[in-house]
C-alpha cells in the first residue's frame, strides 16, 4: 500500500488502497432536492466522476471501479435511461481522446449486448486501446449485475468443462471467468447517498473488501470526502479471516 500525507495540517500518513470501488449513487435525489430533472443530477454526477477519477490517479491508485449502470436500472423511466446512455457515450468519447495522452486504461465490465451499436463500438475501441497502455485503470461497470456476472461465469465454465477444455473448478479458476479476471479485488468500497447495501455490486470480488458509507449524495462527493474514506480505511485491521 502506498502512503500519503494529508494536506490539512496533519503529518499523519495514510495507506492508499490499491483498488477502490465506488457505487455512484444519489444523482436523482440530488436533482429532485433542487427541483431539477433527474437527468441534471446524472450530468453533475458525471463531472464528479471525472474529478474523483483524476484525484485517484494522482494519489497513486492502480484501479478505480465505478458502478455506472446496473442490470436493474432498465426499470427506470425511458427518458432517464436515454439521458444516462447519452452521458456514457459522451464519456467514452472523451476517455478515448485522453487515454493515450494521460496513460489511463479503461475496462468495461458488464453485458454490452443490449446497448446501442455506437456504445458497443466505443467500448470495444477503448478496450483495444487499453491493451497498449500501462498505468492507472478505470473499470466501468455498465449494464452490470453481480448475480448476472456469476451466472454468466458459471455457464461459460460449464460449457468449457463439458467440452473437455478445463478441469475441476476452484476459486482461482472461477475468478478467471468473471468480468474482473486479472484485476485484484477492491480493497475499499465506497457508497455515497446514505444507502447501506451493495445493491448487487461486485458480489464475488467484495468478499473481504472494507466498506465505507456516507450520507453525501454522489454529485456532492469531493476529494475531501474521498480522503475521509481513505482515512477510515487506514485505521482498519484487515485480517482476512485470520487473527
Q: Is 27 a catalytic residue?
A: no
- The per-residue DSSP string of 60-121 comes to T-SEEEEEEEETTGGGS-HHHHHHHHHHHHHHHHHHHHHHHHHT-EEEEES--TTS-HHHHH
Q: How far apart are CA 162 and CA 129, in angstroms?
A: 34
Does the pLDDT at position 6 exceed 80?
no
Could you tell me if residue 106 is inside a domain? Answer: yes
Give me the CATH number covering residue 41: 3.40.1180.10
Could you tell me if residue 6 is inside a domain? Answer: no
Give 238's pLDDT tier (boundaries 50, 70, 90).
confident
pLDDT tens, 150-196?
Answer: 999 999 999 999 999 999 999 999 999 999 999 999 999 999 999 99
Q: Is this prediction's pTM over 0.85?
A: yes
Domain extent at residue 41: 15-145+186-234
CA distances from 228 to 17, 59, 94, 105, 130 (A): 13, 14, 29, 26, 31
Could you tell me if residue 157 is inside a domain? Answer: no
Could you tell me if residue 111 is inside a domain? Answer: yes
The pLDDT assigned to 146 comes to 97
Q: Is 73 a catalytic residue?
A: yes
Give 8's pLDDT tier (boundaries 50, 70, 90).
low
Cβ proximity of 52 and 225 under 8 Å: no
Could you tell me if residue 162 is inside a domain? Answer: no
79 φ, ψ (degrees, to nearest 5): -65, -40
What value, to the nearest 5°, has the Cα angle with vertex 226 and ends 180 and 95?
Answer: 50
Could you tell me if residue 153 is inside a domain? Answer: no
Could you tell me if residue 10 is inside a domain? Answer: no
Cβ proximity of 38 and 84 under 8 Å: no
pLDDT tens, 82-127?
Answer: 999 999 998 898 888 888 888 899 999 999 999 999 999 999 999 8
The pLDDT assigned to 243 comes to 59
Residue with cell 433542487: 34
Give 11's pLDDT tier (boundaries 50, 70, 90).
very low
Q: b or e along 5-15 (b: 16 or more beta carbons within 10 Å of the residue's beta carbon)?
A: eeeeeeeeebb
Q: How far apart are CA 163 and CA 206, in angstroms?
A: 31
- As for how many domains the chain has, the answer is 1
What value, to the nearest 5°, has the Cα angle with vertex 222 and ends 221 and 223?
Answer: 140
pLDDT tens, 36-78?
Answer: 999 999 999 999 999 999 999 999 999 999 999 999 999 999 9
- Residue in 128, 161, 140 with CA at minimum distance from that of residue 65: 140
Q: How far apart are CA 241 and CA 216, in angstroms?
A: 31
Does the pLDDT at position 225 exceed 80?
yes
Check 27, 58, 73, 111 and give the catalytic one.
73
Amino acid at each position: 500500500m502506498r502512503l500519503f500525507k494529508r494536506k490539512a495540517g496533519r503529518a499523519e500518513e495514510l495507506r492508499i488502497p490499491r483498488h477502490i470501488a465506488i457505487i455512484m449513487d444519489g444523482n436523482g435525489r440530488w436533482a429532485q432536492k433542487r427541483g431539477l430533472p433527474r437527468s441534471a443530477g446524472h450530468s453533475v454526477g458525471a463531472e464528479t466522476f471525472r474529478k474523483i477519477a483524476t484525484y485517484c490517479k494522482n494519489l497513486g491508485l492502480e484501479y478505480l471501479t465505478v458502478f455506472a449502470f446496473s442490470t436493474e436500472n432498465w426499470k427506470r423511466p425511458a427518458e432517464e435511461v436515454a439521458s444516462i446512455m447519452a452521458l456514457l457515450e459522451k464519456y467514452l468519447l472523451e476517455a478515448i481522446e485522453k487515454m493515450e495522452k494521460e496513460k489511463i486504461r479503461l475496462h468495461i465490465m458488464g453485458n454490452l449486448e443490449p446497448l446501442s451499436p455506437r456504445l458497443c463500438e466505443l467500448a470495444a475501441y477503448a478496450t483495444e486501446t487499453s491493451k497498449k497502455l500501462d498505468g492507472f485503470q478505470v473499470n466501468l461497470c455498465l449494464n452490470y449485475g453481480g448475480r448476472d456476472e456469476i451466472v454468466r461465469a458459471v455457464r461459460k465454465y460449464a460449457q468449457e468443462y463439458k467440452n473437455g477444455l478445463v478441469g475441476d473448478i476452484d476459486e482461482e479458476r472461477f475468478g478467471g471467468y468473471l468480468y474482473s479476471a486479472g484485476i485484484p479485488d477492491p480493497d475499499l468500497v465506497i457508497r455515497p447517498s446514505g444507502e447501506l447495501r451493495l445493491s448487487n455490486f461486485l458480489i464475488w470480488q467484495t468478499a473481504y473488501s472494507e466498506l465505507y458509507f456516507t450520507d453525501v449524495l454522489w454529485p456532492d462527493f469531493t476529494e475531501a470526502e474521498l480522503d475521509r474514506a481513505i482515512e477510515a480505511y487506514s485505521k482498519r485491521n484487515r485480517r482476512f479471516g485470520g487473527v
